[in-house]
Amino acid sequence: MVYIKSKSEIELMKEACKIAALTQKAIEEAIKPGISTWELDKIAEQTMKKYGAIPAEKGYPSGEKGVPDFPGSICSSVNDVVIHGIPSKKEILKEGDIVSVDLVAYKDGFNGDCARTYTVGKVDKNTLKLLEITKQAFFEGIRFAKKGYRIGDISHAIGKFVEDNGFSVVKEFQGHGIGRQMHEDPGIPNYGKAGKGIRLEPGMTLAIEPMVIQGKPDILELDDGWGIISEDGTNACHYENTILITEKEPKILTILE
């Protein structure tokens, strides 16, 4: 079931999303060679608490027997880790790395979800292109995030743009509706056929998140039960925002104005 948010609910969501964006800004300012992903995790948690929110990812249930709930306040995915990387004191960022930070701020009953991939110092041209294409894929997708279009229109635009630029989309994971729950209907794949899926209506709030691999699309799960890596060891990138469907253009809620 897809939940259409009321005006008052949208205002609450805007606040959660603003805090998520402010948290990403704090992380971006802290990233440098020599910092650990554990330190980034603490910065995120402290920033959210400063603004009256909590990290929704911390303690998120795995749903799998024998796999503990997610221990971090953020997902920190370095280089070939696509998503769901667990922050660690032992994982020290170095020059030339990239790190994807996915975080969800929860405040007053609503969630704000966004992901960014950051460079650590200087990276090579191919890696820069990966980041640029992944980010642009999001914007290609939301050209169709308007009243009357369908979910498949967003999905198709993302997948086509990524593949036309020589990269691969991850097909096993997808974007999603968001609101009182971190994950709500509808699911939003990063590939598919235009004209398919439910029609978009004003008041829908969606987390659209291209997940892109430099090489082949095949993935593997790490032994911790959370992390997902590219099978061929090539770098991966993640870019996400929470958006609101309106009567006109979509509103991006997790970008600071």
Q: Is the pLDDT of residue 48 over 90?
A: yes
Closest CA to 113 of 124, 101, 125: 101
pLDDT at residue number 145: 98
Q: Is residue 64 part of a domain?
A: yes
Question: Does 220 reside within a domain?
Answer: yes
- The pLDDT-based confidence of 243 (bands split at 50, 70, 90) is very high
Whether residue 257 is contained in a domain is answered as no
Q: Quick check: is 2 in a domain?
A: no
CATH code, domain carrying 112: 3.90.230.10
Q: For residue 88, what are the domain limits?
A: 7-252
Please give the helix or strand (H or E) that residue 23 lies within, else none. Answer: helix 7-30
Domain count, the chain: 1
Contact between 104 and 57 under an 8 Å Cβ cutoff? The reply is yes
Tens-digit pLDDT profile for residues 4-19: 999 999 999 999 999 9
The 10s digit of each residue's pLDDT in 128-170 is 999 999 999 999 999 999 999 999 999 999 999 999 999 999 9
pLDDT, tens only, 82-127? 999 999 999 999 999 999 999 999 999 999 999 999 999 999 999 9
Percent of the chain with pLDDT over 70: 100
Residue 29 lies in a domain: yes
Domain contains 75 = yes
* Residue 34 forms part of a structural domain: yes
Task: Flag whether pLDDT at 233 surpasses 90.
Answer: yes
Q: CB burial class (10 A; 0-12, 13-18, 19+) of residue 73? A: buried
Q: What's the confidence (pLDDT) of residue 257?
A: 81
Cα atoms in the Cβ-side hemisphere of radius 13 Å centred on 49: 8
Asked if residue 171 belongs to a domain, the reply is: yes
CB count within 10 Å of CB 147 equals 16
Query: Average pLDDT in the 190-201 region?
Result: 98
Q: What is the pLDDT at residue 99?
A: 98
